[in-house]
Structure 1
Amino acid sequence: MTEPLFRADAYLRESTGRVLAHTPEGGVILDRTIFYPTSGGQPGDCGFLVHDGARLEIETAVKGEGDAIVLVPATSGPLPPVGGEVLQRIDWDRRLRHMRVHTALHLLSVVIPLPVTGGQIGTEKGRLDFMMPEPPTDPSAIEAALNDLIALDLPVSDDWITDEQLLANPGLVKTMSVQPPMGQGRVRLVRIGLAENQVDLQPCGGTHVARTKEIGRVTLGKIENKGKQNRRVNLYLTD
């Protein structure tokens, strides 16, 4: 098992860890990591490890067997030994942009209250696919409403519920293509706003900014037709 340090603190840029194993493909599994693994439309983190003065570039992180997170080196070469302690550091600028885009997409699902059929997160842009038979009549109004929510500077927090509680509240799940991970007894919820100012609550395992104002202003791009019932809404960071 790898302890996901990013779950408790998405702003953690550096930490130590101990090597638990190597994978047959040349990956490194640590006992705890700040590297987010590719999942839910969010790319895995990149960065590097340092052991005994040697630096190992990490190209991405992926989910391994069970609860393991595998760090994938950018090139083949010597790996830090099993049992050895390493310093790990992520590409923070890239991670922060993923956090900003990811949180903005949650708000996009608020201003477009339709079932989500897919999504993707990048450093410059993100997109959500909606079950939307007809295109929106006023995309500029959607963009304005989205930026108004961002400007409210709402807090972003998380909570946990049991699998049974989620099954009893299916309306919490907005995504039709990706179901929240279940089977471990509990599911993480990401909340935007508090009490009467809460605007969103949905299952999510990704990393997010602490307050919506950190997203910055966004613009909507082309709204693409992706089939009889689906349309893709693209969203861009402006800085």
Structure 2
Amino acid sequence: VDDGSDEADSVEALERIKARGQERVTILHTEHRGVCATRNMGAAHTSGEFLSFVDADDLVEPEFFSRCIDILSAYENVGFVYPWIGYFGQMSGCWASWNTEFPFFLAHNLVGPLAVTRRDLFLAYGKNRPDVEYNLEDYDSWLAIATRGYLGVSIPEILGRYRVRPESRLRGVHRDQSLYLYERIVQHHTEAYQRYSSELFHLLNANGPARGLDSPALQSEAVLVELALQTARNSRLWRAARGVAMSRLGLRLRRWLRRVALASALARRL
């Protein structure tokens, strides 16, 4: 789906795809309406039984789709399947996911960024809502399907990759925006939150808010500090300070750079 893109690289990529003449690939054009409207439009024009969204920051292993579809084909009560995700870019490691169990799924998104779902379920219950477009549209969709009685199943193997980068959409969300998005999530799924309100209170009281839990896009303070120090060590000022490493000026300059990098990193958490 071409969401009204005017970037030369995107236009050229669409022309290359069109030139291949693949019958199973359809290019849809629309004015710019955002990720939610674009996904919904694309899903409505598909004809297959299963559906998956693979964003520009995602990579999939060759067996990703077949492994997920095998589980969906074997169990009618499973609504969506997703694997563990490996990081690439600014971080290494693994984004572990879990089966969707209540009340845990109401406190934190247990689903990774890559999943395969049933097309009919997505169109009936899981269409992306524009009011949670800024990073919780996936979570809202999975909750909508799960609260209808369908399970989300995690494959505990790395079958996809997620690029961690400083300018990602999720990293740009500050605390007030995050609180607003979770407020909208609760409003969309009020009955489920009311049903598990007591359990949720104790869960969050013991573990803190969901936005503080592990995620490659919303990193912990320790990871942010490490990335900030790496940036500082690669700066020209740091190299200049190393040139006079044992002098009082060099030591003071490096201490100052550490403080600036740390303050900058932690400010992104607010």
Q: Greater CA radius of gyration, 1 or 2? A: 2
- TM norm. shorter chain > 0.5: no
Which structure carries more strand by proportion? 1
TM-score by length of 1: 0.25
